[in-house]
Amino acid sequence: MDATLACYLVFLLVILFVITVLIRRYGSKLYIYSALAAAYSLAFLWASFQFGRDIFDAMNMACLGLFGGGSYLLILSAVRTRSQYKITSAFFLGLALFLVFVGVDAFLIEPGWLEVTRYRIEDPKIPRKIKIAVISDLQTDSVGAFEESVLKRTMAEKPDMIVFPGDYIQAAPPQQRQQMEVLNQLLHKVGVSAPLGVYATQGDSEASDWTPVFHDLPVTTFESSGTVSNECFAITGLTLNDSYQLLYKAPETDLYHIWVGHRPGFSLDDPPGNLLISGHTHGGQVQIPFFGPVVTFSIVPRQWGGGGLIELPGGKKLVISRGIGMERGFAPRIRFFCRPQLVFLDLYPAGAGKE
């Protein structure tokens, strides 16, 4: 445990101790619980942003304050009010169980609960039925069984084409290179390849030297923005900067044109293509029912950032994947109503019948 987190936890424990004493002494008065709940919330949120080294570290500390300290105080309140205020006690216990449920789901269940999503796309330029796999934001600091299961699940579908829109490894410099090598070995082991090619772009978790992830593999990597073609498509791969604000001008083509960039912001610059593919947002990692993602750290509309197939003007399609991994570093390893997502795009000629 690092010193910064230790200091925050000490602060949290002191606050919890003081509140525990107050509840034991004044717990017979109902108003004390509202006052202490407000005081505790302000205290741990203030401390999170005081101690946090960046926004993600502050979020992580806030999660500790909410799910750890919050659950403890609710259970303590339920016990203290059990004999005198049975309904209030049941309310506190219900809130505590809800927090525990959310915490278990968000930290232990959803991060490893892969969702396979399929989108059907029709267009006159598509010559035949083609399946494209989108593996976005593997974004791990320890390549292991989960990443292997995703890659094996992908290859089991026998996709005609595979797209990696960036974010492969997010680790401290000493481990970054090592994990890149481990991922490269895993890609070799699984045999990642596709008849129409595998295409990869840079994400923002990588250093500038990111292509060793795909060393000696049948993968086209775009170290600079460019356009290549196969027998069915023109594929434009974008640099990280161009995926945020598009400056690259692709050559004209009569083929169905697929654009791939890590960030979805390039879609706002109206690129002359048919299908735009990106990742980056992780779907927000936390989504609220009927509201969607809380934050997406993207310039596209918030609801787009939650992931999905978005219809754009002129018949263009934008696919934003929620990704496989999560934000690492100081960030909380959390997903809530936002499972990791493997995307398959089933492309058909216009007017093709349903299968």
* Rounded Cα distance, 89 and 145, in Å: 43
Q: What is the pLDDT of residue 351?
A: 77
Q: What is the pLDDT of residue 56?
A: 95
- Strand, helix or coil for residue 164: strand
What element of type H or E holds 240? helix 240-244
For the segment 182-200, what is each residue's pLDDT rounded down to a tens digit?
Answer: 999 999 999 999 999 999 9
Percent of the chain with pLDDT over 90: 95
* Rounded Cα distance, 320 and 341, in Å: 10
Q: What is the pLDDT of residue 88?
A: 96
For the segment 235-264, what is each residue's pLDDT rounded down to a tens digit?
Answer: 999 999 999 999 999 999 999 999 999 999
Q: Which residues, including other chains, have CB under 8 Å from residue 55's CB and lie 6 or more apart?
A: none
**pLDDT band with cut points at 50, 70 and 90 for residue 174:** confident
Residue 127 is encoded by which pair of tokens?
A: 């010559």
Angle at 276 between CA 270 and CA 277, to 5 degrees: 140
Residue with tokens 């290859």: 155
What does the pLDDT average to over 293-321? 96
**pLDDT band with cut points at 50, 70 and 90 for residue 353:** low
For the segment 203-225, what is each residue's pLDDT rounded down to a tens digit?
Answer: 999 878 899 999 999 999 999 99
Q: What is the pLDDT of residue 37?
A: 96
Q: What is the pLDDT of residue 354?
A: 64
Rounded mean pLDDT of the chain? 96
CB 148 within 8 Å of CB 186: yes
Residue 76 is encoded by which pair of tokens?
A: 């303590």
* Rounded Cα distance, 270 and 273, in Å: 8
Is 317 a residue whose pLDDT tops 90? yes
Return the number of other C-beta atoms located less than 10 Å from residue 242's C-beta: 24
What does the pLDDT average to over 273-298? 96
Indicate the pairing of strand 275-278 with strand 317-320: parallel
For the segment 53-87, what is each residue's pLDDT rounded down to a tens digit?
Answer: 999 999 999 999 999 999 999 999 999 999 999 99
Lowest-confidence pick of 118-127, 221-230, 344-353: 344-353
* Rounded Cα distance, 81 and 94, in Å: 13
DSSP 72-105: HHHHHHHHHHTTT-HHHHHHHHHHHHHHHHHHHI
Q: What is the pLDDT of residue 207?
A: 77
For the segment 258-278, what is each residue's pLDDT rounded down to a tens digit?
Answer: 999 999 999 999 999 999 999
Q: What is the pLDDT of residue 355?
A: 59
The gap from C-alpha 350 to its chain's centroid, in whole angstroms, comes to 32
Longest dimension (CA), the chain: 78
For 18, which DSSP code? Answer: H
Q: What is the pLDDT of residue 301?
A: 97
For the segment 164-173, what is each residue's pLDDT rounded down to a tens digit?
Answer: 999 999 998 8
Q: What is the pLDDT of residue 267?
A: 97
